[in-house]
Structure 1
Amino acid sequence: MAIQITNYQCPACTGPLHFVGESGRLECDYCGSSFDVTEIEALYAEKEQKAAEATEAAEAAKAAKATEATENTVDASTVKDDSEWDDSGLNEDWGADREGMRAYSCPSCGAELICDETTAATSCPYCNNPTVVPGQFSGVLKPDYVLPFKLNKEDAIKALKKHYRKKILLPSTFSKANHLEEIKGMYVPFWMYDGKASGSIRFHATRVHTYRDGDYEIRETSHYDVSRSGSLCFEKIPVDASSKMPDDYMDSIEPYDYSDLKPFSTAYLPGFLADKYDVSVEESRERADLRCAGSLVSALKDTVSGYTTCNEKNRDIYLKRGKVHYALLPIWILNTKWEGKDFLFVMNGQTGKLVGNLPVSTKRVIGLFAAIAASLIAIGMTMLVLLVR
């Protein structure tokens, strides 16, 4: 665990504060602002309280998400296995590279990051807190693979601006007035699972044929019992191992091109941070099982075509769990601020695919609704006139 230290930053410019004996106040080296000690202590006490509440809320959300994942996993009664995910190849032996590595811990959100000793970590990529300091480098698994960055900071900015385009409900001032607070390049930890899924699914399908017989319209429905079976082998199914990164963001920026995957080397780290995993192989098991079994189910369903309706009756899925690998995959994190609110965007550092939530203009929503309503009224009035004639 990295050592956590809180440094006081200036509330006006976030520069470092130091105590000046002559004035008895904390003064900023950059903007010249000064503050009473009790004022700053009260401010940081409030921040620490909010950080504690945020951590508690994050843990509760994590527990709830784990419960939801369990509920959404392919029905346990239909999934069989005689194996566990094999994590025997994971190890902490960094060899000579250990001496050049450092660990960083954020006192605000608790994120633990690793990087080479030359990286000057000045802020946390998750909460943008500038109080990130070096700590002990121990108990950190060495990754098996790393996928190097292909896109730089300028590419991330261009992708964000492109993301704003053609969003008709986006407030007109957002793209101009929002302030890009921070851009961080970071390697996110992923567990990669090898394995095989086999199984069968039964469907009830129908074909509906409609024809005329004199004055009558005949509707004829044929019923079918459809069965599909097969198997799929999986190699390096990715599951992000960081609780700080929203799973939906990580899923949305996939896929990565594994042809560029390299054996891990610290030579790829300078200039970037690397998140330390905080979700274990076992804790990620449900998501891995879901992705493996779900992919087989989707593949089997895609082979059923030519029917009017098709509903699944039952399924029987078998998983053969294989090797687990540890890899670091590249992302750019972009934090923007607009009208006092923070907006997070994440970009795939290899392909450029970007996701993030945008604000919605209430005025534009009302205007769009009014335009649609006016069009419907106009169409209705036209039809009414035609009927009267």
Structure 2
Amino acid sequence: MKVPVVPRREPERPREIPKTEDHRFPCEACGGDMRFEPAAGRMVCDHCGNSVDVTPARAPIREIDIREGLQDGAGGAEQEETRVLDCPNCSAQVEFDPDVHAAECPFCATPVVTGTGVNRHIKPGAVLPFALEEPQAHEAMNRWLGSLWFAPNGLQRYAKKGRKMSGIYVPFWTFDARTETSYSGQRGDTYFVRRTVMRDGKPVSVQVPKIRWTPRRGRVARFFDDVVVLASKSLPKSHTDALEPWDLSGLSPYAPQFLAGFRAEAYQVALEEGFREARTRMDAVIARDVRMDIGGDQQRITALDTRISDVTFKHVLLPVWIAAYKYRGETFRFVVNGQTGRVQGERPYSAIKITIAVILGLIVAAIVGFIASQTQ
């Protein structure tokens, strides 16, 4: 019996993920590394002064369907491969040049000498270029430190010595969505009734507020445009939230030239996790819309049924200047919005200054009390 020959099936080749473009741009005049200069919007060589204009791409920034981004572990969206250093202290994954094998983590000032690896992720679709140079960011940070009277003088002097700040492109997700919500609830309107109460042994007529509740049903709709969600876990969320608002009208299609001279952090918050946070923010806005639609002095929401559609996302990089200082065994971090100059950071306290303030307060209170007693 002749055995039929079955043609051998070639194994499927995994789809190749393109490597990220090199963020180093050699100068055509001298071969040195060029960097992006935010103020001028051009590439500059610090070695010979040669400069090249950077013209942002005119192509529209693509909004990606959420289903495309989530399918097969984000296989539906364009991906890239980058080389990163993992910080053992804060777990930041920061992109470094290929010849860098040891560095200091810009997020917490921890020396990073091991943990090199390759990271695969959804490629950024847009970047908000730095608008502030490092001296401007340092000046903004110094003004902020100067306003913290209770901060230790030693920390302020140490920070003002001109220690270099790191320009980091921090990853964010933005989400668009169309929502329609049916609701049921109650509207509360205030009215007053007269009551007689006893005060100092005498009857007094007063007005007492009451609430009249009536059932309400309705529907609200809203289109959410660019709900911004932090995709990093390297910085306290309170820090980055305090840097808002971001003017996303300045977003440009992603181009590696904008990253020259800066670093980029790989996202640590997955797309699905980021969308869950975006939904939480959307739900809060929807609840506010419902309360406004119900009207009255008070509102009760008993049921919400939200239908969401046309959900899209972008992976964007936003500019942040970061300074991390080790001071007396503790790490203090300051962040500056690279677009607006808004500053946020850890707020250290000086025990000596607090003690002096308490003593001065007690002295002032004693003087005021003495003057008051003499007057009486």
Same fold judged by TM-score > 0.5? yes
Structure 2 Cα separation of the partners of residues 120 and 272 of structure 1? 17
Structure 2 Cα separation of the partners of residues 182 and 298 of structure 1? 44
Secondary structure at the residue paired with 1:157?
A: helix
Secondary structure at the residue paired with 2:120?
A: coil
Give the structure with higher Rg (CA). 2
Post-superposition offset of 1:300:
5.2
Secondary structure at the residue paired with 2:276?
A: helix
Equivalent in the alignment of 1:355? 344
Post-superposition offset of 1:278:
1.9
Equivalent in the alignment of 2:173? 191
Structure 2 Cα separation of the partners of residues 344 and 266 of structure 1? 27
Of 256, 262, 268, 1:272 maps to: 262
Structure 2 Cα separation of the partners of residues 251 and 323 of structure 1? 22
TM-score by length of 2: 0.65
Q: Quick check: 1:112 aligned with 2:93?
A: yes
Of 173, 176, 184, 2:157 maps to: 176
* Cα deviations by residue, 1:54-88 (Å, 9 ceiling, x for unpaired): xxxxxxxxxxxxxxxxxxxxxxxxxxxxxxx8141
Equivalent in the alignment of 1:237? 227
Structure 1 pair 370/316, CA: closer, same or farther in 2 (3 Å)? Answer: farther
Structure 1 pair 383/197, CA: closer, same or farther in 2 (3 Å)? Answer: farther
* Cα deviations by residue, 1:107-157 (Å, 9 ceiling, x for unpaired): 634533336769998433224345468966562321111111111111111
Structure 1 Cα separation of the partners of residues 116 and 357 of structure 2? 53
Whether contact under 8 Å (1:197, 1:293) holds in the other structure is no
Secondary structure at the residue paired with 1:283?
A: helix
- More strand per residue: 2
Equivalent in the alignment of 2:40? none
Equivalent in the alignment of 1:52? none
TM-score by length of 1: 0.63
Post-superposition offset of 1:212:
11
Q: 1:282-301, aligned counterparts within 5 Å?
A: 282-299=272-289
Q: Quick check: 1:220 aligned with 2:208?
A: yes
Whether contact under 8 Å (1:124, 1:132) holds in the other structure is no
Q: Quick check: 1:143 aligned with 2:131?
A: no
* Cα deviations by residue, 1:261-304 (Å, 9 ceiling, x for unpaired): 11111121111111111221112233111111112334555789
Match for 2:86: what amino acid?
Answer: C
Structure 1 Cα separation of the partners of residues 230 and 275 of structure 2? 11
Structure 1 Cα separation of the partners of residues 235 and 83 of structure 2? 19
Structure 2 Cα separation of the partners of residues 166 and 107 of structure 1? 31
Gaps in structure 2 of 5+ consecutive residues: 1-18, 20-64
Equivalent in the alignment of 1:157? 138
Structure 1 pair 314/170, CA: closer, same or farther in 2 (3 Å)? Answer: farther
Structure 1 Cα separation of the partners of residues 193 and 374 of structure 2? 37
Structure 2 Cα separation of the partners of residues 385 and 207 of structure 1? 51
Whether contact under 8 Å (2:84, 2:119) holds in the other structure is no
Q: 1:1-389, aligned counterparts within 5 Å?
A: 86-88=66-68, 93=78, 102-106=82-86, 108-109=88-89, 110-114=91-95, 122-131=103-112, 139-178=120-159, 182-199=164-181, 200=183, 202=186, 204=188, 206=190, 216=204, 218-225=206-213, 230-299=220-289, 307=297, 310=298, 312=300, 314=302, 316=304, 318-321=306-309, 322-373=311-362
Post-superposition offset of 1:92:
5.8
Post-superposition offset of 1:319:
4.9
Match for 1:281: what amino acid?
Answer: L
Structure 1 Cα separation of the partners of residues 100 and 319 of structure 2? 17
Gaps in structure 1 of 5+ consecutive residues: 3-84
Post-superposition offset of 1:366:
3.1
- More helix per residue: 1
Equivalent in the alignment of 2:6? none
Aligned pairs, number:
297
Secondary structure at the residue paired with 1:160?
A: helix
Whether contact under 8 Å (1:181, 1:337) holds in the other structure is no
Equivalent in the alignment of 1:16? none
